Amino acid sequence: MAEAVRALPQEIQDGIEVFIWNVKTLEGINRKLELGARVIPAIALNNEVVYESTIPPQDELIAAILKCKDNF
């Protein structure tokens, strides 16, 4: 999942903040629980899990990011 985010076009990356948590650490486990992610890997946008276990196609991920940005 992290690689899918890293592969986004630069103009999209410039407009987002990316945080990656390792669920092998206490911090990562706590963050997974806070977000309510049932499985990993997962992608959350604005603290809402939008993808779990399945890596979305790049165009779908970009659309989800832009939709979240429009809501702010």
CB 17 within 8 A of CB 69: no
- Whole-prediction pTM: 0.85
Q: What is the dihedral of CA 13, 36, 1, 61, to 10 degrees?
A: -50
CB 15 within 8 A of CB 62: no
Rounded CA separation 63/34 (Å): 25
For the segment 49-63, what is each residue's pLDDT rounded down to a tens digit?
999 999 999 999 999
Q: Is residue 70 very low, low, confident or very high in pLDDT (cuts 50, 70, 90)?
A: confident
